[in-house]
Structure 1
């Protein structure tokens, strides 16, 4: 088994779009209506939007490969790219997704370790994320990694308002 993590480049936008749609759909299709899911996917993973996000120097995307097959990805934000105002001493894990076929192989843990490594290199004091309140597996994973809930915010799946828990981990 060979696992590699590499930074996503602007030349890989189609791969980023495909893995984004696949993993988001696999994760949330059972709990959401097809209409709301489609509306979200259409806007969140639009190629032009992804192109702007990849070009943003305060956002970073990483692909994780399992035996050379793209298995998941990570999106990190700092400064003004963060989806909430958390300050310059914080790093946001906006997205961390693994294809269902590759779950339970420790890939999510590896991506989270990558996020912490980058946060420490950038001398951030905190790492944070938003996680859907109904995503019990992810919440358990984040708690196991030392994250604690500090708040909540709205997340829209199409026009369906949902609640994301804000979870934070102190680094220093």
Structure 2
């Protein structure tokens, strides 16, 4: 059966090789002290991606329910989740979470202990194009393999073409879809799967 969290001694940071003159991307397991910066990045990225798809009230409700330091701090303590952060220098630039125990009908043919969900691979917009998301994803996939998972899946908004291309380039394949409600606005997330 897969483990859900790596302990501090089992979760080394990994450094990517940067282009000449740039600082490397360092990926490590998130700590409680990262809750505020994770919430800030999540808030800004989600708002920039989805604000045009719903009312301001619905967006505010969603952000205040999902991206406050208190909410993220609670998620960091959730044994079903493993958060990683990617930093350049002393600045956290991106985060991702692996979550166990999630359910998706199109994945029922895969036993639950063999699959894990990749949630919220969010890179600060100021760091797009610098290899941060790729370094973070590579390390997150490595963590999932070490935890014993055979498959990793995620949901991507059907109109987030940049994210879809990113995941398809890595080898994720679309296997289904589900509805996602952002306030009163019904959206569709496509489900992507990768064999590890």
TM-score norm. by structure 2 comes to: 0.79
Secondary structure, in 3 states, of the residue corresponding to 1:57?
coil
RMSD over aligned Cα atoms: 1.8
Alignment length (residue pairs)? 169
Contact 2:45 2:125 in 1 (8 A): yes
Secondary structure, in 3 states, of the residue corresponding to 2:73?
helix
Secondary structure, in 3 states, of the residue corresponding to 2:79?
coil
**Stretches of structure 2 lacking an aligned partner (at least 5 in a row):** 1-22
Alignment partner of 1:51 is 2:73: yes
By how many angstroms is 1:83 displaced? 5.5
Secondary structure, in 3 states, of the residue corresponding to 2:49?
helix
Which residue number corresponds to residue 188 of structure 2?
Answer: 163
Which residue number corresponds to residue 123 of structure 1?
Answer: 148
**Stretches of structure 1 lacking an aligned partner (at least 5 in a row):** none
Contact 1:39 1:157 in 2 (8 A): no
Cα deviation per residue 1:47-97 (whole Å; 9 max; x = unaligned)?
A: 44323311111201111112221211111112x2x2547511112111101
By how many angstroms is 1:163 displaced? 0.6
Which residue number corresponds to residue 87 of structure 2?
Answer: 65
Contact 1:26 1:99 in 2 (8 A): no
- More displaced 10-residue stretch of structure 1: 111-120 or 84-93: 84-93
Residues 61 and 113 (structure 1), Cα distance of their counterparts in 2 relative to 1, 3 Å cut: same
By how many angstroms is 1:160 displaced? 1.3
TM-score norm. by structure 1 comes to: 0.89
- More displaced 10-residue stretch of structure 1: 32-41 or 112-121: 32-41
Residues 47 and 69 (structure 1), Cα distance of their counterparts in 2 relative to 1, 3 Å cut: closer
What CA distance in whole angstroms lies between the structure 1 residues aligned with 2:143 and 2:98?
9
Which residue number corresponds to residue 92 of structure 1?
Answer: 117
Which residue number corresponds to residue 175 of structure 2?
Answer: 150
What CA distance in whole angstroms lies between the structure 2 residues aligned with 1:83 and 1:112?
21
What CA distance in whole angstroms lies between the structure 2 residues aligned with 1:77 and 1:116?
12
